[in-house]
Amino acid sequence: DEDLALVDRDDADIAHEAALEQVPVVAVVGRPNVGKSTLVNRILGRREAVVEDVPGVTRDRVAYDAEWSGRRFTLVDTGGWAIDAKGIHLRVAEQAEIAVELADVVLFVVDAVVGATDDDAAVVKLLRRSGKPVVLVANKVDDQRFEADAAALWNLGLGQPWPVSALHGRGSGDALDAILDVLPEKSAVFGAYARGGPRRVALLGRPNVGKSSLLNRLAGSDRVVVDDVAGTTRDPVDELIELGGKEWRFVDTAGIRRRVHQTRGADFYASLRTQTALEKAEVAIVLIDASVPITEQDIRIVQQVVDAGRALVIAYNKWDLTDEERRHYLEREIERELVQIPWAPRVNVSATTGRHMDRLVPALETSLDSWDTRIPTGRLNSFLGEIVAGHPHPVRGGKQPRILFATQASTRPPRFVLFASGFIEAGYRRFVERRLREEFGFEGTPIEVSVRVRE
Ligand code: GDP
Ligand code: GDP
């Protein structure tokens, strides 16, 4: 059933090349229904080549390979974001903030006919703060009658509004030219949509667990190369650090090395920083202070890594401060709090004494290998055949749903799709997931198992 492969390999290759060339990134940002997706299709000339479905925290963000006047760029559509319990206002701003963070140029789309709303105003604020170049598109200007509505958007303070009808194509060429005027040759947000190059590591953890101490310890003094990304107010800085004979890219280290100016709640920024770092990273080291009880925030950060679908290593720091009693309690806390994640490699370290620093790289490599793993379809199905024969799904209402076959839809992280003859219970799905881990390992990576029912 290889024909059921759900990911187009060729498109993944395009993404890979684009990343190596550091093709600049243009993010399309705006409220729902202003016409972002329509505009994206317009720009792509309806080629609609999906380059990479960006996994994780924001599943709805999709990157495309685009071109205008001979210039290539990655076009990121944030169109499909969902309205959730938090309320649309925060959600829009939050989504936009992440997209902006990961872009070289922002295409901000406003519905000219509706005019600027409070949500638009919230986005404008964060666009200003980001310092990124913005091209303002006044959309739905289908004919000349709406030109005045477009002109009214001057007062957003983002410069010239470009009147466009994404639906009919009117004005879109001029807006694209405006993008090219501010598009850098090379992307400064390398990593977010990248593949290839040194492996990208996010160093995460709540305040005071020892992130900057660990970074300093790993970097030593002379081997650090600071890859400074200019022109942004928040200066995300990546550091290339040589460890175990290889280069590693530690992403967004500025937020670790110095406290970022906080205008909103510290929690909001901490979690946003974690998210953006995760988006850029392939693997995360979550640092937990071993000398004090595990906190809710520690657990939340670990969960964020899992939700983002990134490889994971847990490092228990300040080991030098633990005594036998504390270590006893720590093991109980781990059993209680992290029971869902027994698969994450664990290292007990001390940034202060340098204890077990040499164990971090093997742990990172183990997790990344698992993250990259592809199980051949034949092997996957013969294994599933065995476990299904040994442990069939329970009969419900006189029916017994069967798993017909499975395919691995993606790597990074490994995602499996089970095709079934009927509804598969969550408990049974977890059973399959557990058996997959037992058989294939996947140490250090989250895996995903989803079910499609076939009529
Ligand atoms: P998104 O949620 O921002 O991605 O918005 P969509 O691209 O899905 O568009 C929302 C609605 O606006 C759809 O019904 C589109 O057909 C419509 N729309 C988008 N662009 C235009 C336009 O230029 N003119 C008009 N009249 N309608 C548009
Ligand atoms: P960050 O906020 O996560 O970057 O944490 P810092 O690196 O600033 O560390 C917070 C405090 O913990 C500092 O006083 C460090 O000296 C101390 N610290 C960090 N790592 C260790 C460790 O392994 N052992 C001990 N004893 N102290 C540590």
Q: What is the pLDDT of residues 385-444, one digit of tens each?
A: 999 999 999 998 888 888 888 888 778 888 888 888 888 999 999 999 999 999 999 999
Considering only residues 122 and 236, tell me which one the structure prediction assigns the higher pLDDT: 122
- The β-bridge partners of 71 are 68
Q: How far is the CA of 129 from the centre of ligand 1 (A)?
A: 28
Average pLDDT, rounded, for the chain: 82
Q: Is the CB of 63 under 6 A from ligand 1?
A: no
- The Cβ of residue 323 has, within 10 Å, a number of other Cβ atoms equal to 8
Q: How far is the CA of 209 from the centre of ligand 2 (A)?
A: 6
pLDDT of residue 172: 94
Q: Is the CB of 137 under 6 A from ligand 1?
A: no
Burial bucket for residue 232 (CB in 10 Å: 0-12, 13-18, 19+): middle
Q: With bands split at pLDDT 50, 70 and 90, how would you rate the model's confidence at 9? A: very low
Residue 54 pLDDT > 50, yes or no? no
| Ligand nearest, relative to CA of residue 357 | 2
The pTM assigned to this predicted structure is 0.63
pLDDT of residue 261: 46
Burial bucket for residue 369 (CB in 10 Å: 0-12, 13-18, 19+): middle
Inter-residue contact 284 to 205 (CB < 8 Å): no
Is residue 161 reached through a cis peptide bond, with omega within 30 degrees of 0 on the bond before it? no
Burial bucket for residue 435 (CB in 10 Å: 0-12, 13-18, 19+): middle
Say if strands 161-163 and 134-139 run parallel, antiparallel, or are unpaired: parallel
Question: Residues comprising the binding site for GTP?
Answer: 30-37, 77-81, 139-142, 205-212, 252-256, 317-320
Considering only residues 70 and 87, tell me which one the structure prediction assigns the higher pLDDT: 70
Query: What is the mean pLDDT of the segment spanning 22-50?
Result: 80
- Please identify which residue in the block is written with the tokens 């380059």: 51
Count helices and strands in the chain by DSSP H and E runs: 14, 17
Query: Probe ligand 1: pick from 28, 29, 33, 91, max atoms within 8 Å of CB?
Result: 33
Query: What is the mean pLDDT of the segment spanning 99-104?
Result: 80
pLDDT of residue 8: 35
The sign of the dihedral angle between the CA atoms of 42, 46, 49, 52 is: positive
Tens-digit pLDDT profile for residues 280-298 = 899 999 999 999 999 999 9
**Using a 6 Å CB cutoff, which residues line ligand 2?**
205, 207-213, 256, 317-318, 320-321, 350-352
Q: How far is the CA of 118 from the centre of ligand 1 (A)?
A: 19
What is the rounded distance in angstroms from the CA atom of residue 67 to the CA atom of residue 48? 12
Inter-residue contact 104 to 189 (CB < 8 Å): yes
pLDDT of residue 92: 56
Inter-residue contact 233 to 247 (CB < 8 Å): no
- Please identify which residue in the block is written with the tokens 């079934």: 420
pLDDT of residue 236: 60
What is the rounded distance in angstroms from the CA atom of residue 374 to the CA atom of residue 72? 30
Contacts of 66 (CB under 8 A, 6+ apart): 26, 43, 44, 72, 73, 74, 75
Of 109-118, 133-142, 193-202, 246-255, the poorest mean pLDDT is in 193-202
What is the rounded distance in angstroms from the CA atom of residue 423 to the CA atom of residue 403? 10
Say if strands 448-453 and 246-250 run parallel, antiparallel, or are unpaired: unpaired
- The β-bridge partners of 248 are 199, 241
Q: Which atom of ligand 1 lies closest to the CA of 38?
A: 7
Q: With bands split at pLDDT 50, 70 and 90, how would you rate the model's confidence at 5? A: very low
Considering only residues 166 and 8, tell me which one the structure prediction assigns the higher pLDDT: 166
Considering only residues 262 and 42, tell me which one the structure prediction assigns the higher pLDDT: 42
Q: Is the CB of 140 under 6 A from ligand 1?
A: yes
Q: Is the CB of 165 under 6 A from ligand 1?
A: yes
For ligand 1, atom 11, name the residue with the nearest CA: 33
Query: Probe ligand 1: pick from 38, 48, 60, 108, max atoms within 8 Å of CB?
Result: 38
What is the rounded distance in angstroms from the CA atom of residue 406 to the CA atom of residue 452? 10
For ligand 1, atom 2, name the residue with the nearest CA: 33
For the chain, give the longest Cα–Cα distance.
77
Of 116-125, 174-183, 213-222, the poorest mean pLDDT is in 213-222
Considering only residues 161 and 452, tell me which one the structure prediction assigns the higher pLDDT: 161
Report the percentage of the chain scoring pLDDT > 70.
79
pLDDT of residue 86: 43
- Please identify which residue in the block is written with the tokens 């509505």: 149
Q: With bands split at pLDDT 50, 70 and 90, how would you rate the model's confidence at 149? A: very high
Query: What is the mean pLDDT of the segment spanning 107-125?
Result: 91
The two tokens of residue 366 are: 């183990």
- The Cβ of residue 156 has, within 10 Å, a number of other Cβ atoms equal to 20
Q: How far is the CA of 323 from the centre of ligand 2 (A)?
A: 17
Of 53-67, 299-313, 353-367, the poorest mean pLDDT is in 53-67
Q: Which atom of ligand 1 lies closest to the CA of 109?
A: 3
ipTM of the complex: 0.61
